[in-house]
């Protein structure tokens, strides 16, 4: 019947349905179903429209914030990609330069030997490590753990000097890096220091006389009898360390 009324309101040509006989039991069941459906809807909230407007405003605000976050994330991913690319370029260039210098320095310190640097994970340059392979003359081993203490020390110094030569600095500070070296290896290392100081200043804490003899200036720190620390300095100018010690006495 309701559909008939709606069609007639729209101006459609419809035939009125035949009247249905009234059945009290059926109508009571329909009324109860309608009452239950109405009860399930609950009480009418008179503030529903205001709450809807507030929620809609909040939704629109959060949607805008979400779009801003997505845009910022996209920008950050682009920055990360650019930084990663820059890291790869700088690291690769530095590795190539240091590896080249390490080969030359190692050969100078170990005549007849061979040393090189190797990437542990060449397919993943952002997480790869670097292994030092060193083969002193007359030996087949390349693992650092199998070298003697002096060979390990000299290999470490070779790595240090290789970095200095690949990426020069105005000055270098070293603390007894040659303490474990014998006289022959020390002389070889000092020849490399002579090359480095052509472009940079080198400050070395040392107890080795050969190192002192090639220095331009010496600075000594001593504790006097009264407990006061004294600092002495001396320009070498070709003087021998033994001569300086005698003159100071």
> Is residue 185 a contact partner of residue 149, using CB atoms and an 8 Å limit?
no
Interval 71-83 mean pLDDT: 96
User: Looking at the predicted structure, is the pLDDT value of residue 56 above 80?
Assistant: yes
Give the global pTM. 0.65
Residue 237 has what pLDDT? 58
Residue 219: strand, helix, or coil: strand
Q: How far apart are CA 124 and CA 206, in angstroms?
A: 41
User: Looking at the predicted structure, is the pLDDT value of residue 29 above 90?
Assistant: no
Helix ranges restricted to H, the chain: 2-9, 24-41, 48-109, 149-166, 183-196, 209-213, 241-248
| 23-37, 84-98, 102-116, 226-240: least confident range | 226-240
Q: Which one has a higher pLDDT value, 237 or 72?
A: 72
Residue 197 has what pLDDT? 87
Tokens 């000092």, residue? Answer: 190
State phi, psi for 135 to the nearest 5 degrees: -125, 100
Residue 38: partners with Cβ closer than 8 Å, 6 or more residues away: none
> Is residue 196 a contact partner of residue 202, using CB atoms and an 8 Å limit?
yes
Q: Which one has a higher pLDDT value, 10 or 43?
A: 43
Q: How far apart are CA 85 and CA 178, in angstroms?
A: 38
User: Looking at the predicted structure, is the pLDDT value of residue 20 above 80?
Assistant: no
> Is residue 128 a contact partner of residue 120, using CB atoms and an 8 Å limit?
yes
Residue 16 has what pLDDT? 62
Distances (CA, A) of 61 to 50, 66, 72, 74, 207: 17, 9, 17, 20, 71
* Residue pLDDT, tens place only, 227-245: 888 888 888 755 555 555 4
State both tokens at 78: 């682009």
Longest distance between any two alpha carbons in the chain, whole Å: 138
> Is residue 108 a contact partner of residue 192, using CB atoms and an 8 Å limit?
yes
* Phi-psi label, residue 238: left if phi above 0, alpha if psi -120 to 50, beta otherwise: left
Q: Does domain 65-167 sit in CATH 3.40.50.2020?
A: no
Residue 214: strand, helix, or coil: coil
Q: How far apart are CA 23 and CA 147, in angstroms?
A: 107
> Is residue 165 a contact partner of residue 157, using CB atoms and an 8 Å limit?
no
Residue 246 has what pLDDT? 47
Count of other CB atoms within 10 angstroms of residue 193: 20
Interval 139-165 mean pLDDT: 85
Q: Which one has a higher pLDDT value, 12 or 53?
A: 53
Interval 8-34 mean pLDDT: 75
């Amino acid at each position: 019947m309701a559909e008939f009324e709606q069609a007639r309101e729209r101006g459609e040509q419809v035939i009125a349905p035949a009247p249905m006989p009234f059945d009290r039991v059926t109508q009571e069941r329909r009324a109860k179903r309608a009452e239950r459906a109405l009860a399930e809807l609950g009480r009418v909230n008179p503030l529903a429209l205001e709450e809807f407007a507030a929620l809609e405003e909040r939704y629109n605000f959060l949607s805008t914030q979400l779009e801003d976050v997505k845009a910022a994330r996209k920008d950050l991913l682009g920055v990360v990609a650019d930084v990663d690319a820059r890291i790869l370029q700088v690291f690769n260039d530095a590795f190539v330069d240091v590896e080249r210098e390490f080969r030359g320095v190692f050969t100078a310190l170990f005549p007849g030997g061979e040393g090189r640097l190797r990437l542990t994970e060449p397919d993943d340059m952002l997480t790869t490590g670097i292994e030092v392979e060193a083969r002193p003359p007359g030996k087949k081993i390349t693992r650092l753990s199998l070298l003697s203490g002096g060979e390990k020390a000299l290999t470490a110094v070779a790595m240090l000097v290789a970095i200095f030569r690949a990426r020069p600095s105005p000055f270098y500070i070293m603390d007894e890096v040659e303490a474990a070296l014998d006289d022959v290896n020390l002389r070889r290392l000092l020849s490399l220091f002579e090359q480095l100081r052509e472009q940079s200043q080198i400050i070395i804490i040392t107890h080795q006389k050969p190192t002192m003899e090639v220095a331009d200036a010496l600075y000594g720190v001593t504790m006097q009898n009264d407990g006061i620390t004294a600092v002495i300095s001396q320009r070498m100018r070709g003087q021998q360390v033994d001569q300086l010690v005698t003159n100071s006495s």
